[in-house]
Amino acid sequence: MISENFFDVTKYPDGNPYEDIGEVINSIIADIKSRQSVSDLNNGGKPGAVIYIPPGDYRLVTQVVIDVSYLKIMGSGHGFTSSSIRFNTPASELTHWHEIWPGGSRIGVDISPEAADGEAAGAAFYVKRAGNPRVSSVEFADFCIDGLHFLDDGSGQDDAENTYKNGKTGIYVGGANDSFRITGMGLIYLEHGITVHDADALAIDNNFIAECGNCIELKGMGQASRIANNFVGAGYRGHSIYAENYGGILVSSNNVFPRGASSLCFSGVVRSSVTGNRFHSFYPGMLILADNCCENLVSSNHFLRDREPWAPMQKYDNGLDDLFGLLQIDGSNNSVIANHISETIDTQYIKPLGAKPVIINVVSGSGNYIANNHIVATTEISQINDAPNSACFSTQVGALLSINNLKALEVTAVLVQKRSVRNTVLDSGSDEQIDIDRTINAFRATPVPGQ
């Protein structure tokens, strides 16, 4: 027996999901609301529904508007494959590829953002409901949202597909919400992958969100949310993971790819944990605690900063120099403990030229505790394949695995600036590697073998 609250978009009588899946899903939501109109019926009344998207390619022209709780939209495969590699490969080579587009249960976002006003204009899925209670338990699972193309940004570059600009968002939650779940999704070539305002108990788990201008953004204010076990990678203009004015976030076991302007940026975030992640970046400013972030734990993460090895992307960066710091802290009583931090870069690429790169930069605040971090700073002559059609995978993995002929690179392991006081720095760099006023901060150097 098929439940009356289970809908297959390919079997729903209204609309054509291959031409406009947005129109079909909106029609299904209207059907759900018309049948589930009583808020309290036999201690129930509004159980919600499941909307199923079978594997296939679906065009989305009409924005999906979700204003009901207990709705799950699910597919049968996240379908992610790199579009960046595809768009930076000569057309003559593409004729020999097995496939060139993302697949699975794939929605191609064909919205024109200029058609509506406001931040949510280009969203494929727009969730918002006024009144009480907050919209709750909306789930997205196991399908692909593909922004299709990036656009010319007016900069005069001839490679519009590398701009990370198109005004499109995959999932946009515009108001207070509770217990949302985003799992097993693939999001690609969107200016904003997931943007959620005012979340409570949000879970963003086990997704593949990459080659987006920004990947995960938590805005407004919120609490008790989790970002875990994701593969994430934004472009050089945006954040891979961003949160503002949140408390109690868990960020754990994510693998964050290197091209984001930041791997993780917190603004005004308090009492949250960043643990057990692998962060890789081609630029300074990997992790930023900004705007008085307080009482956060950053522990047991692996940070790696090196040079972009793939020729088509070498001309881009996030605009920061190496004095900014790989990790920058503005706030108080944060703990940065037991992280492994690697920087491997040829000295000719250090900005400004001849500067000592800063690894951890405490710019303001007090009471920060920085201890037992292992900082490995090395330099070598970069092995870069300048051929535009060189294989991205082999080029990047070859650079990542290169550990031969490394020499020590002189760095400032921890810089505590004058306006930050009463901090404690222990065993996170030798005496020569720490720049700190020892009359107003506590310091113990890492012992140097043989000295």
**Given pLDDT bands bounded at 50, 70 and 90, which one contains residue 310?**
confident
Q: What is the pLDDT of residues 80-89, one digit of tens each?
A: 999 999 999 9
Q: How far apart are CA 318 and CA 229, in angstroms?
A: 25
The residues, any chain, with a CB within 8 Å of residue 450's CB and separated by 6 or more, are none
* Weakest mean pLDDT among 66-70, 270-274, 326-330, 346-350: 346-350
Q: What is the pLDDT of residues 357-377, one digit of tens each?
A: 999 999 999 999 999 999 999
- CB-neighbour burial class of residue 55 (10 A; exposed 0-12, middle 13-18, buried 19+): middle
Q: DSSP of 128-196, one letter per residue?
A: ---SSS-EE--EEES-EEE-------SS--S-GGGS--SS-EEEEE-S-EES-EEES-EEES-SEEEEE
pLDDT value of position 3: 74
User: Does residue 394 carry a pLDDT above 80?
Assistant: no
**Given pLDDT bands bounded at 50, 70 and 90, which one contains residue 55?**
very high
Share of the chain above pLDDT 90, in %: 85
Mean pLDDT over residues 346-356, rounded?
A: 94
Q: What is the mean pLDDT of the chain?
A: 93
Q: Which residue has the tokens 């900069």?
A: 155
Distances (CA, A) of 275 to 203, 240, 338: 16, 16, 10
Q: Are the C-beta atoms of 200 and 177 separated by less than 8 Å?
A: yes
Top-confidence residue, 2 or 288: 288
CATH number for domain 6-317+383-409, candidates 2.60.450.10, 3.40.50.300, 2.160.20.10, 3.30.590.10: 2.160.20.10
User: Does residue 1 carry a pLDDT above 80?
Assistant: no
Domain ranges of the chain: 6-317+383-409
pLDDT value of position 381: 64
User: Does residue 423 carry a pLDDT above 60?
Assistant: yes
Q: Are the C-beta atoms of 384 and 348 separated by less than 8 Å?
A: no
Q: How far apart are CA 274 and CA 262, in angstroms?
A: 14
Mean pLDDT over residues 390-419, rounded?
A: 76
pTM value? Answer: 0.94
Q: Which residue has the tokens 């791997």?
A: 263
pLDDT value of position 386: 52
